[in-house]
């Protein structure tokens, strides 16, 4: 692509903090960029930041026409606005001044079917389209995110040199790759966020057990998570968890974490992940449990009332008696192992969902490559993602991470500790739905014979749904009630 004098290599519309930071990252990597926002003060703010952060090659524009016309052809424009209608409005506004062969890249958390609709709509105007998931938050956008672009391959080629330099860099390359056609990029980002839900829930359960069963202080928890971050659990989320425990409250005594209201917000990607898992008949109990916990956390007043009512009804706190017999050192190590094993199950569920959707849509997703681009920049970045990448490199058709030979050994080695933690939590009346869901998933998946035979017999009895037999082929139906009445059982 030839540079045109005075024209920018790429444009970005939507200058909230994520948009500003990504624009500055692009400029810092040596690509002249034009920026635009409907609120002109955001444009001025971004220009000032570009000057103060190294006199970066960034120009601001105050009308969509001037913005689009400031770009080299074929033009490429990233939009970072709120998902839904604002994206459609921005596309409509900008495409008025764009030409055949130009590209629009939506960098927001968008529902993948909206992206597929927009691909078709922009195609009618000759405009190329990408839906690009961007993970890493504000810091990642500025210093190197993980990016998941899907849609037009030609559109990706137009920006490939940019995104490869802007993305987080790890030892085996930049944390970006062309995901596939259609809404694949947004779908992969959605599942990434679902795994993130599971990760955060599992970490919170580890915290709950260590604090309430183990009686650990925030200072001790900070040291433990710092130590864990040097081993198999090394990850962004474990690292920031250690940092959170260290922050003092500047408005009162103690640490800030203890003053935060126990209600968790959400933006929808976790719900979408669970919905898609259900539609594709993919078991994702850890991710679903994390979503349920966010719903329950929102019922703060109801939970406070329930605690009072059940206490009056005779509910006795079991944490004290359980804590009195605890070997603290062993508990800490058990929780570490339980957290690791649970995380493997959560990632296995997410990867299986990606495979199922890829098969349905014909995207041809490379699961090993998905793990690779999540190794840096993104919220779920973790050292063991490299081992997930290697597992899928060894066997691209791997049915589940649970049966990869290396992960299988680790699961078996950790299961005793895992069961002890879940058992202690149940005994103490502390909910660990993520760990319990992961353990139940593992136990169900590893059993060659399940009690589903009884469920199918029940379905056949009341609905004549038929059943298969283990000793001969075919579909069978039995008059269960009639035969039961004739039996000799008393």
pLDDT digit string, tens, across residues 301-357: 999 999 999 999 999 888 877 777 889 999 999 999 999 999 999 999 999 999 999
Please indicate if the annotation marks 136 as binding a ligand. Answer: yes
Please indicate if the annotation marks 18 as binding a ligand. Answer: yes
Do 59 and 8 form a contact (C-beta atoms < 8 A)?
yes
| Mean pLDDT for all residues in the chain | 95
SS3 265: coil
Tokens of 349: 């569920």
Axis-axis angle for helices 269-279, 184-208 (nearest 10): 110
Write the pLDDT tens digit of every residue in 278-297. 999 999 999 999 999 999 99
Please indicate if the annotation marks 192 as binding a ligand. Answer: yes
From the candidates 28, 42, 110, 189, which is the catalytic residue?
A: 189
For residue 33, list its beta bridge partners: 10, 58
How many percent of the chain have pLDDT more than 70? 99
Write the pLDDT tens digit of every residue in 153-171. 999 999 999 999 999 999 9
Q: Is the pLDDT of residue 1 over 50?
A: no
Q: Is 123 a catalytic residue?
A: no
Do 383 and 302 form a contact (C-beta atoms < 8 A)?
no
Q: How far is CA 123 from CA 94, 116, 186, in A?
A: 14, 11, 18
- 257 burial (CB, 10 Å; 0-12 / 13-18 / 19+) is middle
Query: Cβ of 440: how many Cβ atoms within 10 Å?
Result: 16
- 297 burial (CB, 10 Å; 0-12 / 13-18 / 19+) is middle
Please compute the mean of the pLDDT values over residues 6-22 and round it to a whole number.
96
Write the pLDDT tens digit of every residue in 376-387. 999 999 999 999
Please indicate if the annotation marks 422 as binding a ligand. Answer: no
For residue 58, list its beta bridge partners: 33
Q: Is the pLDDT of residue 2 over 60?
A: no
- Residue 3's pLDDT is what? 43
Q: Is 196 a catalytic residue?
A: yes
Which of 42, 38, 32, 37 has the alpha carbon at shortest distance from 10? Answer: 32
For 132, list phi and psi in degrees, rounded to 5.
Answer: -120, 110
Write the pLDDT tens digit of every residue in 167-213. 999 999 999 999 999 999 999 999 999 999 999 999 999 999 999 99
Please compute the mean of the pLDDT values over residues 19-37 and round it to a whole number.
97
- Residue 5's pLDDT is what? 53
Please indicate if the annotation marks 375 as binding a ligand. Answer: no
Do 34 and 8 form a contact (C-beta atoms < 8 A)?
yes
Do 411 and 344 form a contact (C-beta atoms < 8 A)?
yes
Please indicate if the annotation marks 477 as binding a ligand. Answer: no
Q: Is the pLDDT of residue 266 over 90?
A: no
User: Which residues 6+ apart lie within 8 Å of 103 measured at CB?
Assistant: 74, 75, 76, 77, 127, 128, 129, 130, 152, 155, 158, 159
- Residue 265's pLDDT is what? 83
Please compute the mean of the pLDDT values over residues 230-252 and round it to a whole number.
96
SS3 147: strand
User: Which residues 6+ apart lie within 8 Å of 32 measured at CB?
Assistant: 7, 8, 9, 57, 58, 59
Tokens of 113: 């079917």
Q: Is the pLDDT of residue 24 over 50?
A: yes
Q: Give the side-chain half-sphere CA count within 13 A for 372.
A: 21
The span from the CA of 107 to the CA of 131, in Å, is: 6
From the candidates 196, 205, 343, 375, which is the catalytic residue?
A: 196
Write the pLDDT tens digit of every residue in 91-130. 999 999 999 999 999 999 899 999 999 999 999 999 999 9
Q: Give the side-chain half-sphere CA count within 13 A for 443.
A: 11
């Amino acid at each position: 692509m030839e540079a045109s004098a005075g024209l920018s290599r790429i444009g970005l519309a939507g200058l909230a903090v994520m948009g500003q930071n990504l624009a500055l990252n692009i400029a810092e990597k040596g690509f002249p960029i034009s920026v635009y926002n409907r609120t002109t003060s955001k444009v001025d703010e971004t220009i000032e930041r570009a000057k103060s952060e190294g006199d970066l090659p960034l120009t601001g524009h105050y009308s969509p026409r001037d913005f689009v016309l400031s770009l080299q052809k074929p033009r490429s424009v990233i939009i970072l606005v709120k998902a839904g209608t604002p994206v459609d409005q921005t596309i409509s506004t900008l495409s008025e001044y764009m030409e055949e062969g130009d590209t629009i890249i939506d960098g927001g958390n968008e529902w993948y079917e909206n992206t597929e609709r927009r691909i078709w709509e922009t195609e009618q105007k000759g405009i190329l389209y990408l839906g690009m998931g961007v993970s890493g938050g504000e810091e990642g956008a500025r210093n190197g995110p993980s990016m998941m672009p899907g849609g037009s391959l030609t559109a990706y080629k137009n920006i490939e040199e940019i995104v490869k330099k802007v993305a987080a860099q790890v030892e085996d390359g930049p944390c970006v790759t062309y995901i596939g056609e259609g809404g694949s990029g947004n779908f992969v980002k959605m599942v990434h966020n679902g795994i993130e839900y599971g990760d955060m829930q599992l970490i919170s359960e580890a915290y709950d057990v260590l604090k309430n069963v183990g009686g650990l202080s925030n200072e001790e928890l900070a040291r433990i998570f710092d130590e864990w971050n040097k081993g198999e659990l090394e990850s962004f989320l474990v690292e920031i968890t250690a940092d959170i425990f260290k922050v003092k409250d500047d408005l009162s005594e103690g640490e800030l974490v203890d003053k935060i209201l126990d209600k968790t917000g959400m933006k929808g990607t976790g719900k979408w992940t669970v919905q898609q898992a259900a539609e594709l008949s993919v078991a994702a109990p850890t991710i679903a449990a994390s979503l349920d916990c966010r719903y329950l956390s929102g019922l703060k007043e109801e939970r406070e009332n329930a605690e009072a009512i059940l206490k009056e009804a005779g509910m006795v706190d079991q944490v004290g008696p359980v804590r009195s017999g605890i070997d603290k050192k062993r508990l800490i190590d058990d929780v570490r192992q339980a957290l690791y094993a649970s995380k493997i199950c959560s990632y296995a569920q997410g990867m299986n969902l990606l495979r199922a959707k890829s098969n349905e849509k014909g995207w041809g997703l490379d699961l090993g490559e998905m793990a690779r681009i999540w190794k840096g920049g993104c919220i779920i970045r973790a050292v063991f993602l490299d081992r997930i990448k290697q597992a899928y490199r060894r066997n691209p058709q791997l049915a589940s991470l649970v049966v990869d030979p290396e992960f299988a050994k680790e699961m078996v080695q950790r299961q005793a500790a895992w069961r002890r933690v879940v058992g202690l939590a149940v005994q103490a009346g502390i909910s660990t739905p993520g760990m319990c869901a992961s353990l139940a998933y593992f136990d169900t998946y590893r059993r060659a014979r399940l009690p589903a035979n009884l469920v199918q017999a029940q379905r056949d009895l009341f609905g004549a749904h038929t059943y298969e037999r283990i000793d001969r082929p075919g579909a069978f139906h039995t008059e269960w009630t009639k035969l039961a009445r004739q039996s000799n059982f008393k």
